[in-house]
Each structure stands twice: as structure tokens, then as C-alpha cells.
Chain A
Amino acid sequence: QKEVEQNSGPLSVPEGAIASLNCTYSDRGSQSFFWYRQYSGKSPELIMFIYSNGDKEDGRFTAQLNKASQYVSLLIRDSQPSDSATYLCAVLNSGGYQKVTFGIGTKLQVIP
């Protein structure tokens, strides 16, 4: 059973602060990692993907991957109230061609 673990939160940060969201996964052979954002009552939308060890930056978002530790994180700089949502970590299974395992998501609250 391939697992993706996230703290469900809520994680509360003040506006303008850095939000740090974390995820661990069990499938050591995984090669593709994703962060989706899901607003309440809406569908998930991709905000970041990362394939290589290290950091990947896109605007205010930075994804970090450490395959040795089986750990993925998402940093949101200058957090805004509009960033308040649930962030889903997702990992492509190594043995299942089209199978992605999602975490339960971390709920982020940005306090104005």
C-alpha cells in the first residue's frame, strides 16, 4: 500500500508570512511529485510539480524534494488570504503506470 502522509492542519499563518507545508511518501521508486490546491467546495488545481531533488521556484511558491528522506514540501512566501485552501500532495506510483496517490491535504488559513 503506497502512502502519502500530510498533517491535516489547519495551519494558520499571518498575512505576509511564509507558509510551510510538508509531505512524506512511502514509495521509494516514485519519480513525480505534485502539489494541488483545492478551495472549499471546488476541484483541485495543480500549482507545482517537481521531478528532481532540490528546489523548484514559481513566483511565490517553492517546492522542495528530498528523495533520500522521501520528503516533499511546499513553501508559500508572502502568504495572502487568497492562499487559504487545502493543499494536496500527490505522488506518481512507481509500479502503477497511471496511478497517483494523494495525501489527505493540509488546510491552510492565512489570517489578515
Chain B
Amino acid sequence: NAGVTQTPKFRILKIGQSMTLQCTQDMNHNYMYWYRQDPGMGLKLIYYSVGAGITDKGEVPNGYNVSRSTTEDFPLRLELAAPSQTSVYFCASSSRGAAYEQYFGPGTRLTVT
């Protein structure tokens, strides 16, 4: 099992550009999450999904979009990148939801300049 994989590992974007952060899990987990982690701040939930076709906003969804067409994949879309979106982004999955263990991917370090 590869667990949760994320691509790319690093990316530099110019202001106004768009990109998609990829997240794939091979554990057949229904629950998937996107977090961002800024220096000196806790992980913040951006979006989550409880199964294919079902997504909902987290704490900081503005500037992002998600889709969940399959159980395995949960891409995060950034439209019109802004410097405030410079962060490390983590994808996570869980077999039984946030009341139980979440398995995190290795992260994507994004810089917007």
C-alpha cells in the first residue's frame, strides 16, 4: 500500500495562476480531507469529502475548489492564486471519519509570488 500520495511535492506559482493539487489514496477510505499548514499556525481544514460525489466546506474554503468523482482521488483546485495561499497543503484520509485516525499524505509545499 502506498497510502496517501500527493503531487507535486513543490510548486511555485505566480499571482493569478491556477493549479490542481492531486491526492490519491489506495486504502479504500471513504473520508478524505484537505488541510493547509502555515508557520506558527495549526492545520486548517479547507474541504472534506465523506464519499464519492459528496464534498463540503471546512474552516478556510475561500479560493479553493474540490471534486470527488472516485473513492481514490480528491483533487484540490486553486483558482487565481494569491500570496495568502502560500502554505504547505496536506491531504488526509480515514476509514471511519474524523473521530478516528486520519492518514496524511507527504504534503505539497506551494509558494505564490
Contacts and interface: CB of A to CB of B under 8 A. Distances in A.
A99 interface: yes
Interface of B is mostly: loop
A98 interface: yes
A31 B41 CA distance: 23
Interface stretch (B11-19, B63-71, B73-81, B97-105): B97-105
A44 interface: yes
Given A43-B106, A44-B90, A46-B102, A98 B48 contact: yes
Interface in A70-112: 88, 90, 92, 97-105
Size bracket, chain A contacts: 20 to 34
A12 B35 CA distance: 29
A49 interface: yes
A55 interface: no
Given A44-B90, A98-B48, A32 B41 contact: no
B31 A98 contact: yes
B40 to A, nearest CB: 6
A41 B56 CA distance: 28
A101 B102 contact: no
A104 B59 contact: no
A42 B99 contact: no
Given A8-B40, A44-B90, A100 B98 contact: yes
List 4 tightest A-B contacts by C-beta distance, closest first.
A102-B42, A43-B104, A102-B43, A98-B98
Given A98-B56, A100-B45, A100-B98, 17 more contacts: A32-B99, A42-B106, A42-B107, A43-B90, A43-B104, A43-B106, A44-B90, A44-B104, A97-B98, A98-B48, A101-B59, A102-B35, A102-B42, A102-B43, A102-B44, A103-B42, A104-B42
